């Protein structure tokens, strides 16, 4: 037997059937790939190589930077000593050695006091250099007694300036900046420092523009990312990068090529499996969230619908019980209202109970041949009070010569009440509810039409979903539980029939619902039987 919707059991079954196998398959594929790759290449080679290379490189860079800083620090101390005890050698006549090709002394306002060398031939060039770089150095960030590095690439060449901030004994500030001789540092000293690494490794130093500074350029195999260690060349020469690769990288590369043949397939397969699994999980979660939200709305709507008839029953019951009425006629009227509201309440409870049975897959019907016209008349009588209350007119057209229909009368009554109830909700503007019962090929057709706003085309396929309520209902705050039309469709299909909707109807506003039910008893050819038609208010 078909169920209207799926419950939590079906969701769990879906997860067990699809998500878990997908995740297990992906985990196995990734585990196999990871084990093979790590065990044959990465673990014994890459990890050890990187650790060894990093330690050796950091040690070399640290020693090199210390060597670079020593001439600048020695110059700073000589200038400080001259400021403390002036001698025959002025501050800008101190020879700093081959590692420094120029330096400048500034006062507290960062204006030049002097520079070295101060010969006429070099004076103009140096003044232009220091005027340009004076504004680039971050003087305000230098603490007294400390020093900073400024490294820049200019026309394919490196420029390194080491500068410091100092104070004299009488608390007067001054600054010293030294430009390092990159011919000495970048070639002679750097080559000497790289000798130790070259014993077991291939080493290259490049700048940010990709130009080779020292060492031998690494080939294509050396640049294989898994075997290449690349990092900044310390804190002083931060525009340089150090590249280190193993000497026997060709053998590693050949082994890596063999791994590449298997790696893409496993990666793609694992990725697809994971994506499918996650997609299924997402769909299940989205469906569960949507169902949970719809059920919450359903509970709120049903509670509201139960409250209205119960309030009327209680109010008129108290009037009758206490005798606060205008006589026997009023008491009969109150009794009629209580009876009709009780029927309405029973109808709502029947809807909920029948829907609950469908959700559990336990719905069953007692089929027997019956008179559809008579059943329709009795069902419409139940709606008379509400029609009067809503000031609506019921127009009927019933063929009295219909063949017997094999049906469950209680279930078909529920279908009629739900369709008429639905029509009354949206027929307020139209003033009429039309109900007809006639022949159709192979059976009979029940039609219920309202003259309300109608149903949007994009919603007609969804109005038979459980808990779904059309935009018109939500916008106008029309009461309803969202299960009536779902029950109508289920009951019609359980009887071997179907339900359809048409909106607009013949170009006019409103919605027309048709329930087609089979009539297995052969029809006898005869003249058309008279039809009962009328308007009920």
DSSP sequence for 219-248: -TTTT-GGG-EEEE-TTTSTTEEEEEEETT
**C-alpha–C-alpha distance, residues 73 and 78, integer Å:** 9
Across 414-424, average pLDDT: 87
> Cα–Cα distance between 182 and 363 in angstroms, integer?
91
For residue 112, count CB atoms less than 10 angstroms from its CB and return exposed for 0-12, middle for 13-18, buried for 19 or more.
Answer: middle
- pLDDT computed for residue 485 by the predictor: 85
Q: What is the mean pLDDT of residues 470-484?
A: 63
pLDDT at 522: 54
Above 90 in pLDDT, residue 411? no
Over residues 514-521, the mean pLDDT reads 85
DSSP code at position 441: T
CA 182, CA 187: separation in Å to the nearest integer? 7
CA distance linking residue 330 with residue 322, whole number of Å: 13
Query: Taking the CB of residue 303, how many other CB atoms lie within 10 A of it?
Result: 10
> Does residue 163 come out as left (phi exceeding 0), alpha (psi in the -120 to 50 range) or beta?
beta
Q: What would the two tokens of residue 364 be?
A: 């069953």
Angle at 399 between CA 397 and CA 404, to 5 degrees: 135
Report the pLDDT value the prediction gives residue 150, as an integer from 0 to 100. Answer: 94
Spatial distance between the Cα atoms of 195 and 141, rounded to a whole number of angstroms: 36
Quick one: pLDDT at residue 537?
45
* 509 contacts 430 by C-beta, under 8 angstroms: yes
Residue 5, pLDDT > 50, answer no
pLDDT higher at 39 or 454: 454
| Alpha carbon distance 87, 96 (integer Å) | 17
Q: Can you give the length of the chain in residues?
A: 537
| Confidence band of 95 (pLDDT split at 50, 70, 90) | confident
431: left (phi over 0), alpha (psi -120 to 50) or beta: left
Report the range of poorest mean pLDDT among 190-194, 201-205, 250-254, 508-512. Answer: 250-254
Say yes or no to pLDDT of 1 above 50. Answer: no
C-alpha–C-alpha distance, residues 53 and 121, integer Å = 46
Please check the confidence at residue 305 and state whether its pLDDT lies above 70: no
Q: Over 80: is that where the pLDDT of 496 sits?
A: yes
pLDDT at 483 over 60: yes
Whole-number Cα distances in Å, 46 to 56, 219, 229, 317: 15, 18, 10, 88
The H or E element spanning position 421 is helix 409-426
Residues 175-227 have pLDDT tens digits of 999 999 999 988 889 988 888 788 778 888 998 888 888 888 876 544 455 66
Q: Are strands 531-536 and 393-399 parallel, antiparallel or unpaired?
A: antiparallel
Confidence of residue 174 (pLDDT cuts 50, 70, 90): very high
Q: How many helices (H) does the chain have, and how many strands (E)?
A: 13, 17
- Cis amide linkage into residue 504, ω under 30° from 0: yes
Torsion of CA 140, 146, 152, 157, to 10 degrees: 140
The per-residue pLDDT for 18 is 66
Q: Please tell me which residue, 419 or 223, carries the higher pLDDT value.
A: 419
* Structure confidence at residue 4 as a pLDDT band (50, 70, 90): very low
Q: Full-prediction pTM beyond 0.75?
A: no
**pLDDT recorded at residue 240:** 92
Residue 504 has pLDDT above 90, yes or no: no
Q: What is the distance between the alpha carbons of residues 514 and 532, in angstroms, rounded to a whole number?
A: 19
pLDDT for residue 263 is more than 90:
no
pLDDT of residue 528: 47
Confidence band, pLDDT 50/70/90 cuts, at residue 408: confident
Mean pLDDT of all residues belonging to the chain = 78
- For residues 402 and 372, the answer to whether their CB atoms sit within 8 Å is yes
Count of CB atoms situated within 10 Å of the CB of 273: 20
Are the beta carbons of 75 and 96 closer than 8 angstroms? yes
**Average pLDDT, integer, range 417-434:** 80
């Amino acid at each position: 037997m078909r169920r209207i919707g799926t419950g939590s059991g079906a969701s769990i079954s879906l997860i067990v059937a699809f998500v878990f196998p997908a995740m297990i398959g992906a985990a196995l594929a990734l585990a196999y790939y990871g084990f093979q790759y790590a065990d044959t290449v990465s673990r014994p080679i890459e990890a050890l190589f990187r650790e060894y290379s990093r330690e050796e490189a950091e040690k070399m860079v640290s020693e090199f930077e210390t060597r670079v800083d020593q001439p600048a620090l020695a110059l700073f101390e000589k200038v400080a000593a001259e400021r403390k005890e002036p001698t025959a050698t002025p501050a800008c006549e101190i020879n700093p050695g081959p590692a420094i090709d120029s330096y400048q002394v500034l006062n507290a306002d960062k204006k030049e006091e002097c520079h070295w060398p101060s010969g006429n031939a070099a004076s103009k060039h140096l003044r232009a250099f220091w005027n340009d770089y004076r504004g680039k150095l971050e003087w305000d960030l230098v603490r007294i007694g400390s020093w900073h590095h400024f490294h820049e690439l200019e026309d394919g060449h490196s420029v390194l300036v080491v500068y410091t901030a100092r104070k004299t004994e009488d608390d007067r500030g001054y600054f010293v900046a030294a430009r390092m001789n990159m011919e000495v540092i970048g070639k002679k000293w750097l080559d000497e420092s790289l000798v130790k690494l070259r014993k077991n490794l291939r080493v290259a130093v490049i700048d940010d523009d990709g130009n080779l500074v020292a060492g031998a350029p690494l080939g294509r195999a050396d640049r294989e990312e898994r075997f290449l260690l690349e990092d900044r060349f310390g804190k002083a020469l931060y525009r340089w990068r150090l590249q280190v690769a193993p000497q026997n990288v060709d053998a590693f590369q050949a082994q890596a090529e063999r791994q590449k043949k298997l790696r893409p397939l496993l990666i793609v397969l694992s990725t697809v499996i994971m994506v499918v699994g996650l997609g299924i999980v997402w769909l299940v979660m989205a469906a569960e969230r949507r169902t949970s939200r719809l059920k919450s709305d359903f509970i709120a709507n049903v509670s509201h619908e139960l409250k209205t008839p119960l309030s009327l029953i209680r109010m008129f019951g108290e009037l009758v019980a206490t005798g606060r009425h205008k006589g026997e006629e009023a008491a009969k009227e109150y009794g009629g209202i209580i009876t009709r509201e009780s029927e309405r309440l029973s109808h709502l409870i029947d809807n909920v109970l029948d829907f609950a049975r469908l959700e559990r897959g336990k719905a069953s019907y007692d089929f027997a041949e019956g008179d559809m016209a008579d059943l329709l008349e009795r069902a419409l009588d139940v709606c008379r009070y509400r029609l009067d209350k809503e000031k609506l007119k019921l127009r009927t057209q019933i063929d009295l010569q219909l063949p017997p229909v094999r049906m469950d009368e209680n279930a078909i009554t529920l279908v009629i009440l739900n369709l008429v109830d639905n029509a009354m909700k949206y027929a307020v503007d139209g003033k009429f509810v039309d109900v007809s019962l006639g022949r159709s090929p192979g059976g009979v057709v029940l039609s219920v039409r309202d003259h309300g706003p109608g149903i949007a085309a994009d919603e007609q396929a969804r109005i038979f979903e459980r808990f779904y309520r059309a935009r018109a209902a939500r916008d106008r705050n029309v009461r309803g539980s969202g299960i009536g039309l779902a029950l109508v469709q289920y009951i019609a299909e359980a009887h071997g029939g179907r339900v359809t909707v048409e909106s607009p109807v013949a170009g006019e506003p409103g919605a027309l619902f048709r329930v087609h039910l089979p009539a297995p008893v052969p029809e006898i050819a005869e003249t058309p039987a008279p039809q009962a038609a009328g308007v009920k208010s």
